[in-house]
């Protein structure tokens, strides 16, 4: 026999609903409680990065440069700048030429200038590997406020106008370094095809130091991943292993920052990369130079000069050193024409500049990066330049 199940009456259903409504909601906070939660959240966002600086030891040496692996740690870049506010500090801002692509930290342009200065001035390497004017503009705008009123040497590398691809003005989409630093909305960059939400996220990230600090943690401790992705990451081998699966992300946050390796296989005179670009020194390169009036990179450089002047910086622009040996004779003539246009613009804005002499062919590693002895000669030449000495002492 089937057992009949009686249905609840309407009055019974109503009493059940009333009893359910009477149950307290576990996530329902009162107005004062919400205010307390908001206060705690704001305190963490506003003060945690500052407190972190006190806990995480960072005492950069004179010739310190941001390590290659942490080139996108802009929070650490800003922290480095904050610690260099002495009166005799000279800030050398630029791309990988200033950073030193083929050399160690003690063999860069700024390092050899420090050797020449012997303590009278301290030249600070404020370059990042992989920068270019469109990104350098963003770096200084968002993370270089402590440069204000300081003496700044700004490097101008014409390599970034050597083709529509380098200029980021070609219509084909490209993958390039430091995309978060380029203008997200103010300037139309044909090679940059980020989605609207990506652009918004990157623009907001520059205005909120808490997000830059979170990115700092990811770069320094979690292999450039968020904690969730870090715990799920494999070791890159087959069959894969997952070394972090049972590791709490915070257990590896030990306050020890990534530093340059003692023996860098990619940099230094012992490196296989540290060699002249050519044994013969006869160039066949033909660069597709972008006219300055059409160049996005040159326009960014002009805006950057204006930003520094508006902030009260004592500015000098260092042109080159570009490896003219690598070009054909007729292509070299086009380079010289563009270089002269740059000089004329700097003179029209009363900006002091220095154009180092062309190095011997054997002192270049490629189109724009010198080798160790090349940097030494550049520093000696610049230190003995009367216009540069006058700019230093004024």
Report the phi/psi class of residue 161: left, alpha or beta, with left for phi > 0 and alpha for psi in -120 to 50: alpha
Average pLDDT over every residue of 62-91: 93
The most confident of 30-44, 47-61, 90-104, by mean pLDDT:
90-104
* pLDDT of 163 over the 80 cut: yes
Lowest mean pLDDT among 81-90, 105-114, 162-171, 305-314: 81-90
Cite the DSSP H helix spans in the chain: 10-22, 31-55, 74-82, 96-99, 109-117, 133-143, 164-167, 196-207, 209-221, 227-232, 296-310, 329-348, 372-383, 386-393
Report the run of H or E that residue 241 belongs to, with start and end. Answer: none
* pLDDT of 219 over the 70 cut: yes
pLDDT value of residue 5: 53
Average pLDDT over every residue of 136-164: 96
Q: How far is Cα 172 from Cα 374, in angstroms, rounded to an integer? A: 36
Average pLDDT over every residue of 70-97: 93
pLDDT value of residue 280: 82
**Four-residue CA torsion sign, 214, 218, 222, 226:** positive
pLDDT value of residue 370: 98
Average pLDDT over every residue of 148-166: 96
Average pLDDT over every residue of 49-75: 94
Measure Cα distances from 321 to 184, 287, 299, 389 in Å: 30, 16, 20, 19
pLDDT value of residue 1: 47
pLDDT tens profile 271-326:
999 999 998 888 899 999 999 999 999 999 999 999 999 999 999 999 989 999 99
**For the chain, what are the domain ranges?**
48-393
pLDDT value of residue 84: 82
Counting residues of the chain whose pLDDT is more than 70, the rounded percentage is 93
* pLDDT of 20 over the 80 cut: no
pLDDT value of residue 14: 55
pTM for the predicted model, two decimal places: 0.88
Tokens of 202: 């990157």
Average pLDDT over every residue of 78-107: 93
Beta-carbon contacts of 263 under 8 Å, excluding residues fewer than 6 positions away, are 270
pLDDT value of residue 31: 82
Name which of 187, 149, 203 is nearest 295 in CA terms.
187
Q: If you search the block for the tokens 């160039």, which residue do you land on?
A: 283
Tokens of 97: 């030429």
Measure Cα distances from 140 to 190, 283, 349, 367 in Å: 23, 35, 20, 25
Contact yes or no for 35/228 (Cβ under 8 A): no
Beta-carbon contacts of 311 under 8 Å, excluding residues fewer than 6 positions away, are 145, 147, 148, 149
CATH number assigned to the domain covering 48-393? 3.40.50.1110
Contact yes or no for 176/15 (Cβ under 8 A): no
* pLDDT of 4 over the 80 cut: no
**Four-residue CA torsion sign, 179, 181, 184, 189:** negative
Torsion of the alpha carbons at 20, 21, 24 and 29, rounded to the nearest 10: 140
pLDDT tens profile 322-358:
999 999 999 999 999 999 999 999 999 999 999 999 9
Q: How high does pLDDT run on average in the chain?
A: 91
* pLDDT of 6 over the 90 cut: no
């Amino acid at each position: 026999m089937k057992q009949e199940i009686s249905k609840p009456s309407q009055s019974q259903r109503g009493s059940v609903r009333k009893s359910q409504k009477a149950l307290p909601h576990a996530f329902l906070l009162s107005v004062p409680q919400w205010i307390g939660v908001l206060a705690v959240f704001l305190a963490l966002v506003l003060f945690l990065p500052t407190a972190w600086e006190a806990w995480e030891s960072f005492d950069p040496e004179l010739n310190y440069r941001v390590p290659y692996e942490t080139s996108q740690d802009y929070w650490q870049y800003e922290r480095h700048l904050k610690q260099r506010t002495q009166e005799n500090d000279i800030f050398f801002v630029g791309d990988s030429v200033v950073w030193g692509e083929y050399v160690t930290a003690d063999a860069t342009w700024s390092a050899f200038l420090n050797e020449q200065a012997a303590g009278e001035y301290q030249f600070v390497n404020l370059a990042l590997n992989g920068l270019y004017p469109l990104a350098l503009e963003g770096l200084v705008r968002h993370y270089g406020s402590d440069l204000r009123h300081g003496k700044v040497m700004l490097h101008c590398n014409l390599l970034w106008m050597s083709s529509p691809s380098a200029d980021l003005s070609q219509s084909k989409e490209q993958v390039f370094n430091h995309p978060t630093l380029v203008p997200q909305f103010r300037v139309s960059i044909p090679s940059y095809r980020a989605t609207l939400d990506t652009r918004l996220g990157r623009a907001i990230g520059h205005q909120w130091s808490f997000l830059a600090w979170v990115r700092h943690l990811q770069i320094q401790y979690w292999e450039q991943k968020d904690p969730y992705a870090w715990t799920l990451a494999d070791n890159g081998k087959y069959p894969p292993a997952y070394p972090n699966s049972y590791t709490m992300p915070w257990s590896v946050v030990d306050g020890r920052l990534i530093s340059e390796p003692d023996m860098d296989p990619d940099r230094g005179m012992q490196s296989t990369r540290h060699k002249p670009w050519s044994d013969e020194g006869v160039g066949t390169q033909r660069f597709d130079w972008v006219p300055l009036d059409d160049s996005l990179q040159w326009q960014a450089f002009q805006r950057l000069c204006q930003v520094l002047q508006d902030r009260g910086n004592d500015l000098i622009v260092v042109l080159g050193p570009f490896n003219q040996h690598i070009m054909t004779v007729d292509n070299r003539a086009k380079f010289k024409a563009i270089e002269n246009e740059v000089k004329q613009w700097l003179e029209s804005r009363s900006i002091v500049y220095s154009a180092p002499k062309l190095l011997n062919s054997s002192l270049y590693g490629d189109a724009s990066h010198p080798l160790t002895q090349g940097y030494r000669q550049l520093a000696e030449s610049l230190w003995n330049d009367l216009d540069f000495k006058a700019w230093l002492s004024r």
